Chains A and B, each alone.
Chain A
Amino acid sequence: MNLRKYLTLTRAGIIESLQFRLSFLVMVIGNILYLIVVYFLWKAIYDSAETDIVNGMTFTDTLIYIVLASALFSFMEMYIVWEIGRSIQSGKIVLDLLKPMDYRRYLFWSYSGTFVSQFFLTFMPTFIAVSIATGGAIPLGMNLLYFAVSVVMSVSINYSIDFFTGTICLYTESIWGINIMKQVIVLLLSGATIPLAFFPEPLKTIMYYLPFQSIYNAPLSLLLDGNPEPQKVLITLGTQLLWCIVMLVISRVFWKISLRQITVNGG
């Protein structure tokens, strides 16, 4: 595997995403507004509760969890379903398939530049802001390393799910509907909307057996735990690795089978 050709795509992606400086500004304003709303909302919620700790989470825990979940979301959301869907509708997919690179890889690496710029422009500032706003409530130790490893696997699982969902567009000619269903399922069942700890019992157990919690809940719970037991870390990361492989295989196989379905009008 020649890494150089992939990194070229990454570089192009960074340059491309830095072109839209105004949209970047809008995004920053949006994020600040969002942080404010989330802060006040959860503050009001916790003020109304009788206890400081609900389901093992304090107000600051919940705040960090929710805010970083949304930062992770804007960092990981690559609009892959739209990209694949549009390519299918316009017929551009044929040109992409002719490229001397596997389509799944090509798509990932051409978006990897956005990853890099989003990481530094959205995720890091949010992380620092939340860390300062909560008075250094994010523990700084080995958990940061676990978190980093975990996020890498989150990206992989998330990409596999996106690619799988995008492949469905080969059959349905519906992009919006398919994408919104995926988004709703992933955001709710991964704990990105409401921390997993708040879910009622049978639901919580079911969610731990699904791949979605590995995307948001796994890295975030690793980050918030300042003194993690080695066993817990191993189980969390192991589960993630398992889902990485399973989802990778499923999305690849599904794509291979579905490619036979392609019909492009004219071109």
Chain B
Amino acid sequence: MKTTMKRKGLIFYLRIYGKILAQDLKSKMSYRADFIISTIGMIFTNIAGFVSFWILFRNFSSINGWGYYEMLFLYGFSLVSLTPVQCFFDNNWSLRQYVYSGDFIKYCFRPINLFFYFQSEVFDIKGLGQLAFGIGTIAYSWANMDLPFDALMLLKLIVFMLTASLIMISLQNAAAATCFWIQNSFYVLDLVFRFKDYAKYPVTIFSPVFRFIFTFVFPIAFIAYYPSLVILRPDEVPILSWLSPVIGVIFFFISYKIWMYGATKYSGTGS
């Protein structure tokens, strides 16, 4: 059983994803009002985030040696790298309800990867608004900083963003997976979700102990700070920045293992 599952290639999974995605979008479109209101809600969140940022910098010209446009870049970077978790992994929020009600068992009986099947079921379109907002913010701050722009820079930016996004995905996977052991994982998820808001600040504002914690234990510094240094401060890139893609992959792998381990321990509700 296990070996046949392994043999199914990437193409197979992409095709399946496309099919499931189409179904999900169809069902979403039948609740058009909800879709429109949620999108407006997402835009509201981004505007409010930007407004509070702007008010802060009206009162203080820099934070810890970071100017307005640099901070804006970090902010935009964090928005973009938080998009994949919003778009592709939103079903994590429902995991605890499936586990609690027993409906989770339906995912266990498909001949495809359990984690993949579960996550593919929901695609959250709202995230695309955030993506657009983030790209706009980055472009605006980039244009105001006299940073050079060429193909290599763009490639770096994309690679580091993609790997940075893995960090938040991992944190959310692990947080959602706690529901296999504890009853109400909402608080854990909510905690992780709230902390992503602090990813947009440079980790240098913390004391060494907490710098360590936010780098290795609760790695929100990899969501925007470390990868951004490669673009923003190319002359003084610490080794951790170059390592951030690797760290992203490692954290993702660990979180995937935790999630799957929890899922295999799942014994259903008996009904």
Do A and B make up one complex?
Answer: yes
B-binding residues in A (CB < 8 A): 20, 22-23, 26-27, 29-30, 33-34, 36-37, 40-41, 43-45, 47-49, 54-55, 172-174, 176-181, 184-185, 187-188, 193-194, 198-200
By a CB distance below 8 angstroms, the chain A residues around B39 are 177
User: How far apart are A152's CB and chain B's nearest CB, in angstroms?
Assistant: 26
A-binding residues in B (CB < 8 A): 31, 33-34, 37-42, 44-45, 48, 51-52, 55-56, 58-65, 182-184, 186-188, 190-191, 194-195, 198, 201, 205-207, 210, 218
| Given contact pairs A41-B198, A198-B56, A184 touches B45 in the complex (Cβ within 8 A) | yes
> Which residue in chain B gives the minimum CB-CB distance to A187?
B48
User: How far apart are B128's CB and chain A's nearest CB, in angstroms?
Assistant: 15
A177 touches B205 (CB 8 A): no
A48 touches B34 (CB 8 A): no
Q: With the chains together, A173 CA to B190 CA distance in Å?
A: 23
By a CB distance below 8 angstroms, the chain B residues around A199 are 55
| Given contact pairs A27-B187, A188-B51, A181 touches B206 in the complex (Cβ within 8 A) | no
| Given contact pairs A181-B41, A194-B52, A198-B55, A47 touches B194 in the complex (Cβ within 8 A) | no
> Which residue in chain A gives the minimum CB-CB distance to B214?
A37
A45 touches B44 (CB 8 A): no
- If A30-B194, A180-B45 are given as contacts, then 9 extra A-B residue pairs at C-beta distance below 8 Å, sorted by A number, are A22-B183, A23-B184, A23-B186, A33-B218, A37-B195, A176-B41, A178-B37, A198-B59, A200-B58
By a CB distance below 8 angstroms, the chain B residues around A178 are 37, 41
A41 touches B205 (CB 8 A): yes
A54 touches B59 (CB 8 A): yes
Q: Which of B45, B60, B187, B218 contacts A48 (CB 8 A)?
A: B60
Q: List 16 contacting pairs A-B, 8 Å CB cutoff, sorted by A.
A: A22-B182, A29-B191, A37-B195, A41-B198, A45-B60, A48-B60, A54-B59, A172-B37, A173-B34, A177-B34, A181-B40, A184-B45, A184-B48, A188-B52, A193-B52, A200-B55
By a CB distance below 8 angstroms, the chain A residues around B55 are 194, 198-200
Q: With the chains together, A52 CA to B206 CA distance in Å?
A: 20
> Which residue in chain A gives the minimum CB-CB distance to B188?
A26
